[in-house]
Amino acid sequence: MMKMTKDIKILFTVLDGAAGRPYPNKNGKTALEAAETPSLNKIARNAATGMMTVIPGTAPESDSAVLSLLGYEPKKYYTGRGPLEAMGTDVDYQDGDLALRCNFATVKNGKKLLDRRVSRTLIKKEAEELERLINKKVKLDNFKFKFKSTNQHRGLLIIKDNGKIELSPKITNTDPAYGRKGLISIAKEKYESKIQKCKPIEPEAIETAKSINEFTEKTIKVLKKAEVNEKRRKEGKLEANAILTRDAGIKKPDLPDMKEIFGLKWSLLANMPLERGIAKAAGMETIKIKNEEDYEEWLLKTHEAMRENDCVYVHLKGPDLPAHDGDFERKKDKIEEIDQNYYRKLINQIDTKKTIIVVTSDHSTPCTIGAHSKDPVPIMISHPAISGKALRFNEKEARKGTLNIPKATLLMNYLNKLYKGIQKNDQEGLK
């Protein structure tokens, strides 16, 4: 394997859910097309662009999408989102334990879902108090468990292996917004607004499914009486009175080390446990962002990471959240905030002649459906050695581009070859 110098850097940036579909009431534009993005457009004018399918025929969750962007085939390596969230949360998790991604949710009469995310108003202090209450008051008949609040309405459930009854990940989700294809979770465009009963997919999972249903029912009873929810009721807020589970797994993924594959040192910046979990599994340095909207923190840690690593992956969550809520204007605003407060300063502070800049999405989240979709996403790769010029970075312009990366799992090989080619040319130019 060719030994790489540190003269060339790869800055791989992902705008979570920024891609979308034309919005009928916005002149048929997507949020990216409607947004004012002078900094991204400046990058595009020296970039090759195109449209890229993340996972063919699938509306991917962020877990399988990010694995694909990093070159890992989900069908081969994916073991469930739960273990990845556990790795990114730094909790006690061992192979054999069952890990599930969770949401605090709002239900009426015990089952009907009013909101899968408690209208995104749950604050850290409230979530941590509910976490303590669940761990203290809820007891399962056959298993011990640990529930952990992670970020806003998000949480993690780990059911511990007791050495007597085998736990199995082959169960359905209680979260109605996601189905499963094998162990891989698939986003649904339409779903029934009620908590689903957890069912075994295979006979070996019967006891596991029973325990998930037991956890769901007992948790609803405990949360109904929580002081946090009594206070929220008085304030006119939705109660966090149920837990939705999805994406079960019982072992950590065995990912080949990124440095061993490409001979490059990688780091990842993110404020969500999932992406940090993937980074740890892939042998990447993980850098936690405390505040998603503090772009000075993003910039500072991007520069620090670029000094210490050959490649830096930056995962910006902002556009995906309002897209799930069907809020076109707020999604557009988030894209503009990132352009103004992150990319504008970034491109003025780095040596673009020595940096391969990648900008893409991990999936499309159209505001028209409020969920992930199968649609391809725009991608641009910028460096003076690359031919190709676009006027803007968005879906419409990317469809005119010549960059041919038909699916996300091929992207890393493309970047590796590009990196080596640029390095070779630089070395020959010095002779």
Single-letter amino acid, residue 266: W
d(CA 166, CA 162): 8
Buried b (16+ CB within 10 A) or exposed e, 69-102: bbbbebeebbbbbbbbbbbbbebebeeebbbbbb
Average pLDDT over residues 18-46: 94
Q: How many CB atoms lie within 10 A of CB 230?
A: 12
d(CA 257, CA 255): 6
Which pLDDT score is estimated for 149?
Answer: 96
Average pLDDT over residues 56-70: 94
Cβ-Cβ contacts under 8 Å for 300 (sequence gap 6 or more): none
d(CA 151, CA 128): 10
List, for residues 74-107, the tens digit of each pLDDT value: 999 999 999 999 999 989 999 999 999 999 999 9
User: What percentage of the chain reaches a pLDDT higher than 90?
Assistant: 84
Which pLDDT score is estimated for 1?
Answer: 27
- Collapse the DSSP code of 407 into the 3-class scheme (helix H, G, I; strand E, B; otherwise coil) and give the result: strand
Task: Give the mean pLDDT of the chain.
Answer: 93
Average pLDDT over residues 164-183: 92
CA dihedral 271, 277, 283, 286 (to 10 degrees): 20
246, 183 contact by CB (below 8 A): no
Which pLDDT score is estimated for 330?
Answer: 96
pLDDT(152) > 80: yes
Which pLDDT score is estimated for 196?
Answer: 95
CA dihedral 40, 351, 384, 316 (to 10 degrees): -30
Residue 166: pLDDT band with limits 50, 70, 90: very high
Of 62, 83, 251, 61, give the one whose Cα is nearest residue 157: 83
Q: Which residue blocks in 168-294 are alpha helix, DSSP H? A: 206-224, 227-234, 258-262, 273-281
User: To the nearest 5 percent, what fractions of the chain are helix, strand and coil?
Assistant: 40, 25, 40
Q: Cα Rg for the chain, rounded, in angstroms? A: 22
d(CA 40, CA 135): 46
Which pLDDT score is estimated for 2?
Answer: 30
pTM, to two decimals: 0.91
Which pLDDT score is estimated for 424?
Answer: 76
List, for residues 215-260, the tens digit of each pLDDT value: 999 999 999 999 999 999 999 999 999 999 999 999 999 999 999 9
Which pLDDT score is estimated for 26?
Answer: 85
Q: How many CB atoms lie within 10 A of CB 425?
A: 11
Going along the chain from its start, the domains and CATH numbers come out as 9-78+254-429 (3.40.720.10), 87-249 (no CATH)
